[in-house]
């Protein structure tokens, strides 16, 4: 049980129960959707980016506690940030979740997001935690998408889907 | 057969993996609908084959080739008796249930189903018994018709019967639902289809390991199942087909073993079952499946069915007594599958937390997304039982569910 308490910390359970920035931004100029077909996680991200800054961000969808809490905390963490700083956090979060970045031993900007460090020991759950970040990365890079306006991505079969888009 | 008379400890001792510790706790393996575990007798048979019997079959005249051929064909006869088929040539070895269904789609469907024809499926099907027919329908301009179900997960038989018309050409139906455990009244449904001259394929992946199957009594035209859900290895499955249908079907794959003669102008196909077994088959896996059937027969499928029924009844009682837990799939006739959801908790979180207590269940859509859509859930948690599970393990599952609820309260 102690391992589980390590993963399902109160802050994660709280964000799962009461997700922040939940909903959608009507006049969004950036958006993306992410799916994890394995567990049915589905995230829709809408943002307003102006002067290279994330002015507003919201998410909606269905998912497990890890995915929802990750999305909720991510929206709080990147709101008001410059796009390039958000992209650094995408990389850092990805590194932490896959075990290539030690959030306590190496410099990073993850702050409260360090509560997700436990997922690195649960390969089947890494995708759940990363999905919102991967969706954020896609929304910030409309050039990755054929229609240049938004993106739909899937994490089927990939523990670390961002690597394909980075 | 009851809990007192079924020597469960002796049965469990046959399965070395059941002694495993997971997360520091004894393994509680409740994911048998996904894949079952293998008894020592089958493991030993694999070692014996690879140690002293292996060669390619149906080819050379040397000792090993003749031995391997004999054992491979003996496994076919074991499957024949297991399904109570009329002849061993009606048994085709495939990679699994999925390949068996695809074989029928290609060999029968592409030859005998055309534009505007209708194929009936049920709303309970696994993707393996949907997607091949959808591909055929797209290719031929045929139409899929779906038998609906009620809130218990039982097919609506009146609506099933109303789907038939002169365009109906095939019925592809699961014997037992993998997602809900519903046992379909297949014998009655087959008889109805036959009155309309419609052949029937049964997906038996979740039925063959849990109850006696008699394909002649059912009168199904095709029956498919997988070895790895039946205490055998992965990579082997079976398609039973009535000889007269198999004979008029097109081959599935071309290659060695499925031919009588080949020139660049013309190939003459082999007789059944070889016509459908192109290339070197999974010889070891087929022989191991034969050993798994021997093992199950030593316990008795009727005994297995009766014991698992008691396990399911016990689990259903215990889990339905919990507040905030909904059992999905409450058919009057069910096999040993318990799909459920815990209010406010995603099934994936349930699976992760149970795993921490060594409990293995399946979480997800179970490759049956239309079933999930029918019940308006993205996924479920599913415990599925085998004859080596115990009431004590179900108690652990219930304790695990309580822990999940506590954590998320």
Place of tokens 């809990």: B3
Selected residue with higher pLDDT from B243 and A36: B243
Within a domain: residue B39?
no
As a whole number, mean pLDDT of residues B176-187 equals 98
Give the pLDDT confidence score for residue A145 in this predicted structure: 59
d(CA B404, CA B334): 26
Structure tokens at B121: 């499926």
β-pairing, B362-364 with B168-174?
unpaired
Which chain A residues are Cβ-neighbours of B378 within 8 angstroms? 39-40, 42, 62
Q: What's A82's DSSP letter? A: B
Shortest Cα–Cα distance, B131 to chain A (Å): 17
Find the residue in B nearest to A18 (Cα): B344
Within a domain: residue B35?
no
Decide if B349 and A63 are in contact by the 8 Å CB cutoff.
no
Identify the CATH number of the domain in which residue B232 sits.
3.40.640.10
Structure tokens at B216: 């002649």
Within a domain: residue B65?
yes
Give the pLDDT confidence score for residue A124 in this predicted structure: 84
d(CA B79, CA B290): 7
Which chain A residues are Cβ-neighbours of B346 within 8 angstroms? 39, 63-65
Within a domain: residue B150?
yes
Place of tokens 């969706």: A135
Whether residue B245 sits in one domain with residue B165:
yes
Within a domain: residue A157?
no
Decide: A117 and A9 in contact? Cβ < 8 Å: no
Q: 3-class DSSP state for residue B282?
A: coil
Within a domain: residue B137?
yes
Shortest Cα–Cα distance, B239 to chain A (Å): 28
- Cβ partners under 8 Å of residue B392, min gap 6: none
DSSP H helices in chain A: 2-7, 10-17, 65-78, 83-98, 123-140, 162-165
Decide: B281 and B93 in contact? Cβ < 8 Å: yes
Q: What's A145's DSSP letter? A: S
Domain extent for A61: 2-144
Q: Please write the tens of the pLDDT for every residue from B277-315.
A: 999 999 999 999 999 999 999 999 999 999 999 999 999
Which chain B residues are Cβ-neighbours of A13 within 8 angstroms? 407-408
Decide if A66 and B349 are in contact by the 8 Å CB cutoff.
yes
Structure tokens at B341: 């959801």
Q: Which of A4, A6, A131 has the highest number of chain B CBs within 10 A, making it the mutation to test binding with B?
A: A4
As a whole number, mean pLDDT of residues B222-238 equals 98
Check pLDDT > 50 for residue A163.
no
**Percent of chain B scoring above 90 in pLDDT:** 92
Within a domain: residue B37?
no
N- to C-terminal Cα distance for chain A? 36
Q: Mind giving me the DSSP string for B229-272?
A: TTTS-TT-EEEEE-HHHHHHSPPSS-STTSEEEE-SS-EEEPPT
Q: Please write the tens of the pLDDT for every residue from A45-61.
A: 999 999 999 999 999 99
Chosen domain end from B279, B298, B317: B298
Identify the CATH number of the domain in which residue A25 sits.
3.90.1010.10
Mean pLDDT over the full length of chain A: 87
Give the pLDDT confidence score for residue A144 in this predicted structure: 67
Give the pLDDT confidence score for residue B331 in this predicted structure: 98
Among candidates B33, B8, B75, B83, which has minimal Cα distance to B292? B75
β-pairing, B222-226 with B237-241?
antiparallel
Q: Structure pTM?
A: 0.92
Give the pLDDT confidence score for residue A70 in this predicted structure: 97
Chosen domain end from B262, B279, B298: B298
Mean pLDDT over the full length of chain B: 96
Whether residue B289 sits in one domain with residue B402:
no
Within a domain: residue B107?
yes
Q: Which segment of A34-38, B89-93, B130-134, B367-371 scores lowest on mean pLDDT?
A: A34-38
Q: What residues of B act catalytically? A: 367
Among candidates A57, A66, A54, A74, which has minimal Cα distance to A118? A66
Whether residue B341 sits in one domain with residue B266:
no
Residue B400, H or E segment: helix B391-408
The CA angle B212-B217-B221, to the nearest 5 degrees, is 100
Place of tokens 């085709």: B92
As a whole number, mean pLDDT of residues A129-142 equals 94
Domain extent for B354: 8-30+300-407
- Number of structural domains chain B divides into: 2
Whether residue B242 sits in one domain with residue B306:
no
As a whole number, mean pLDDT of residues A2-13 equals 84
Within a domain: residue A122?
yes
Which chain A residues are Cβ-neighbours of B348 within 8 angstroms? 39, 41, 64, 66, 125, 128
Whether residue B310 sits in one domain with residue B241:
no
Q: Please write the tens of the pLDDT for every residue from B337-348.
A: 999 999 999 999
Chosen domain end from B240, B269, B298: B298
Distances (CA, A) of A130 to A9, A92, B26: 17, 11, 31
Q: 3-class DSSP state for residue B290?
A: helix
Give the pLDDT confidence score for residue A156 in this predicted structure: 47
Q: What's B378's DSSP letter? A: S
Count of alpha carbons within 13 angstroms of residue B212, beta-carbon side:
13
- Calculate Rg over the CA atoms of chain B: 22
Place of tokens 């394995």: A38
The CA angle A121-A126-A129, to the nearest 5 degrees, is 125
Check pLDDT > 80 for residue A153.
no
Q: In this complex, which of B353, B365, B407 lies closest to A40 when CB atoms are compared?
A: B365
Decide if A122 and B352 are in contact by the 8 Å CB cutoff.
yes
Whether residue B115 sits in one domain with residue B208:
yes
**B394 CB neighbour count, 10 Å cutoff:** 23
Q: Please write the tens of the pLDDT for every residue from A52-104.
A: 999 999 999 989 999 999 999 999 999 999 999 999 999 999 999 999 999 99
Identify the CATH number of the domain in which residue B343 sits.
3.90.1150.10
- Number of structural domains chain A divides into: 1
Check pLDDT > 60 for residue A1.
no
**Percent of chain B scoring above 70 in pLDDT:** 99
d(CA A110, CA B185): 57
Among candidates B304, B370, B307, B405, which has minimal Cα distance to B144? B370
Q: Please write the tens of the pLDDT for every residue from B18-68.
A: 999 998 999 999 999 999 999 999 999 999 999 999 999 988 889 999 999
Whether residue B190 sits in one domain with residue B102:
yes
d(CA B360, CA B26): 11
Count of alpha carbons within 13 angstroms of residue B233, beta-carbon side:
22
Give the pLDDT confidence score for residue A148 in this predicted structure: 46
Can you give the length of chain A in residues?
166
Whether residue B209 sits in one domain with residue B243:
yes
Within a domain: residue B36?
no
- Phi, psi at residue B4, to the nearest 5°? -75, -35
């Amino acid at each position: 049980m102690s391992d589980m308490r390590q993963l399902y910390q109160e802050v994660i359970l709280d964000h799962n129960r009461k997700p922040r920035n939940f909903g959608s931004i009507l006049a969004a100029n950036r958006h993306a959707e992410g799916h994890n077909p394995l567990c049915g996680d589905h995230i829709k991200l809408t943002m307003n980016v102006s002067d290279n800054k994330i002015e507003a961000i919201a998410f909606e969808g269905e998912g497990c506690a890890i995915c929802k809490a990750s999305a909720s905390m991510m929206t709080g963490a990147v709101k008001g940030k410059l796009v390039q700083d958000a992209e650094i956090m995408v990389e850092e979060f990805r590194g932490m979740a896959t075990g290539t970045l030690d959030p306590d031993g190496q410099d990073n900007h993850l702050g409260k997001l360090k509560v997700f460090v436990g997922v690195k020991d649960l390969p089947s759950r890494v995708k759940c935690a990363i999905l919102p970040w991967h969706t954020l990365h896609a929304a910030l890079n409309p050039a990755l998408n054929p229609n240049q306006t938004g993106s739909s991505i899937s994490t089927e079969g990939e523990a670390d889907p961002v690597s394909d888009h980075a | 057969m009851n809990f007192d008379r079924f020597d469960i400890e002796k049965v469990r001792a046959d399965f070395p993996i059941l002694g495993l510790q997971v997360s520091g706790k004894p393994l509680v393996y409740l994911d048998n609908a996904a894949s079952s575990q293998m008894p020592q007798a089958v493991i030993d048979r694999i070692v014996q084959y690879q140690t002293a019997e292996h060669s390619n079959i149906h080819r050379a005249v040397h000792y090993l080739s003749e031995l391997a051929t004999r054992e491979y064909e003996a496994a076919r006869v074991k499957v024949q008796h297991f399904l109570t088929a009329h002849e061993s040539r009606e048994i085709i070895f495939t990679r699994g249930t999925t390949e068996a269904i695809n074989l029928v789609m290609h060999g029968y469907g592409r030859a005998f189903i055309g534009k505007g024809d209708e194929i009936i499926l049920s709303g309970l099907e696994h993707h393996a018994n949907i997607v091949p027919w959808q591909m055929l329908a797209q290719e031929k301009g045929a139409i899929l018709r779906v038998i609906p179900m009620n809130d218990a997960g039982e097919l609506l038989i009146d609506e099933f019967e109303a789907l038939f018309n002169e365009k109906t050409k095939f019925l592809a139906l699961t014997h037992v639902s993998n997602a809900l455990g519903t046992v379909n009244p297949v014998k009655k449904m087959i008889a109805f289809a036959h009155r309309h001259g419609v052949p029937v394929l049964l997906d038996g992946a979740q039925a063959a390991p849990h109850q006696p199957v008699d394909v002649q009594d059912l009168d199904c035209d095709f029956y498919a199942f997988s070895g790895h859900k039946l205490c055998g290895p992965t990579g082997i499955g079976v398609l039973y087909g009535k000889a007269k249908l198999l004979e008029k079907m097109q081959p599935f794959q071309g290659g060695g073993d499925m031919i009588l003669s080949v020139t660049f102008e013309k190939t003459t196909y082999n007789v059944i079952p070889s016509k459908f077994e192109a290339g070197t088959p999974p010889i070891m896996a087929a022989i191991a499946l034969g050993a798994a059937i021997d093992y199950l027969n030593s316990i008795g499928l009727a005994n297995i069915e009766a014991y698992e029924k008691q396990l399911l009844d016990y689990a259903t009682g215990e889990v339905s007594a919990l507040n905030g837990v909904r059992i999905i799939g409450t058919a009057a006739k069910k096999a040993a599958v318990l799909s459920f959801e815990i209010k406010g908790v995603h099934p994936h979180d349930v699976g992760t937390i149970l795993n921490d207590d060594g409990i293995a269940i399946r979480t997800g859509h179970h490759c049956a997304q239309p079933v999930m859509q029918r019940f308006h859930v993205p996924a479920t948690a599913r415990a599925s039982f085998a004859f080596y599970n115990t009431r004590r393990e179900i108690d652990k599952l219930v304790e695990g569910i309580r822990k999940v609820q506590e954590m998320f309260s």
